[in-house]
Chains A and B, each alone.
Chain A
Amino acid sequence: MLLEAKNIVFGYERGRNILENMSLSIESGERLALVGPSGCGKSTLAQILAGNYVPGSGQVLLDGKALPRRGFCPVQLIYQHPEKALNPRWKLGKSLFEAWAPDDGFLNALGIEKVWLSRYPAELSGGEMQRFCIARALAPETRFLIADEITTMLDVVTQAQIWNMLLRIAAERNLGILAVTHNGELAKKISARTVTFPEKT
């Protein structure tokens, strides 16, 4: 499968585009890193690729077709702040099963302990919550993962753990990964190819 962004133009305000004619493509099984300074539009592009924002012009195509508006989206976005991506009034088990019903082996592989399922987001640490967000996004229908700074707020050991396990699962399932980061070293470590955003002039 192929996920393409073609000539994307996007601006939050009229007359001030943050993305001008941006194009990129990822294939299944490919790992691509998107690197650039803060405020350059990396996250915006991630949102557009996941179908959350509609670009001013240009298209996001999955195998030549537009992303489905309804139903489970094969392109899943994992957010930077897991505490915002989980309903604070839901126990984590409920949030997890909202997407799909993983088995125990899968949870084990992600380092999710069973007792966490009956806890609220406020009772877990950032890394623990992020594991849930990743588990949610790894439903069987998922083909591409957009990882928007998913480990930026975590310590180095946890970062390594999470990326190791994510890359392993992605390789098993032949998922395409777009990792958005401003950490060049991390980008080198996890991806074969890097797209660097130009410095704004």
Chain B
Amino acid sequence: MRGKAANLKEADAGMKRMVISMGMKGIFAKKRGRRTAAAITGCVFFVILLAIYIGGALLPDSALAADFSQKSLPPSMKHLFGTDFLGRDMFVRTVKGLSLSLAVGAVASVISALIALAVGVTAAMGRGIADHAVNWFIDVFMSVPHTVLIILISVAFSRGAFGMLVGLAVTHWVSLARIIRGEVLQIRSMQYITASRRFGKSRLWIARKHILPHMLPQFFVGLILLFPHAIMHESGLTFLGFGLPPEQPAIGIILSESMKYLSGGAFWLALFPGLALVLLVLMIDKLGNTIRSLLEPREAQL
């Protein structure tokens, strides 16, 4: 009888061990699963963004033709987002607007990120005067309200799409430049950089071969995270009338037009395009953070 009890006890302990080990396995599986899930989320968002861009670019302008027989219709199966006061389909306008926003955001953030990379590396490698000058410049940019600065620059550059692009491109690099400068400072104090100097390598060579490759992950993540900022500012500027011209199918134009009709109850003119813009921005932000977590798993702490 006692033997049986001991056996039972042993079996019980064995079960416990098994449960524990299975629990551990479960945790590991979850961890791997999280990484995969992050990658899948990233891919899905990327495909959606690409689809919006291509869809907007492929839709013919004739889809935006005025049709007064369909004026100011609320959302229905035929017109998902309703129609506006000229009878244009709001869904088509929204997709075209988002597509345009993506294009503007892409150009602006790529230029901004390149400026940030150049400035950040120069500051950190130059030391002394260059570093002080760049830091002072960054402080100046950061102390002026963003939107005001963009409006000023865009007006100075004859407004319109070009002026706005210049405004967006030259104002968004500051924070990324700071981050890159810090990283470069950290890497250039490494012993292998000192050793490289003693092997007779020039500063330029070291910046190109040793330091730039270390900056690339930070650069790409920074680039994608600049994107939503640029898009929001583009829409804001256009809404205020300093951005894209009214004949462009931009979200900012849609929103500022809708203001006149909101009091008449045409909520769909602002709600769906605005919501779509917010979702787009959130998606890009999430995409950037996902890529960061995949590139730097230790820092991101999924």
Contacts and interface: CB of A to CB of B under 8 A. Distances in A.
Interface of A: 50-52, 70-73, 76-77, 79, 81, 84-87, 89, 95, 98-99, 133, 136, 139
B210 to A, nearest CB: 6
Contact of A85 (B195, B200, B202, B210): B195
A74 to B, nearest CB: 10
Interface stretch (B31-39, B186-194, B261-269): B186-194
Given A76-B198, A84-B191, A89-B214, 12 more contacts: A52-B198, A70-B200, A71-B200, A72-B198, A72-B199, A73-B200, A77-B195, A79-B195, A84-B192, A85-B191, A87-B190, A89-B213
A147 to B, nearest CB: 14
A52 B196 contact: no
6 contacts: A72-B200, A76-B198, A86-B192, A87-B190, A98-B199, A136-B195
Interface string B99-115: 00000000000000000
A50 B213 contact: no
Nearest to B199: A99
Contact of A98 (B194, B201, B202, B213): B201
B192 A52 contact: no
Nearest to B200: A72
A22 B210 CA distance: 35
A98 B198 contact: no
A87 B190 CA distance: 9
**Which range holds the interface residue count of chain B?**
10 to 19
A63 to B, nearest CB: 18
A99 B192 CA distance: 11
Contacts of B201: 98
A100 B213 CA distance: 22
Contacts of A81: 191
A136 B199 contact: yes
Contacts of B194: 52
A136 B195 CA distance: 10
Contacts of B199: 72-73, 98-99, 136, 139
Interface string B198-237: 1111100000001001100000000000000000000000
Contacts of A79: 191, 195
Contacts of A84: 190-192
A92 to B, nearest CB: 12
A81 B196 CA distance: 16
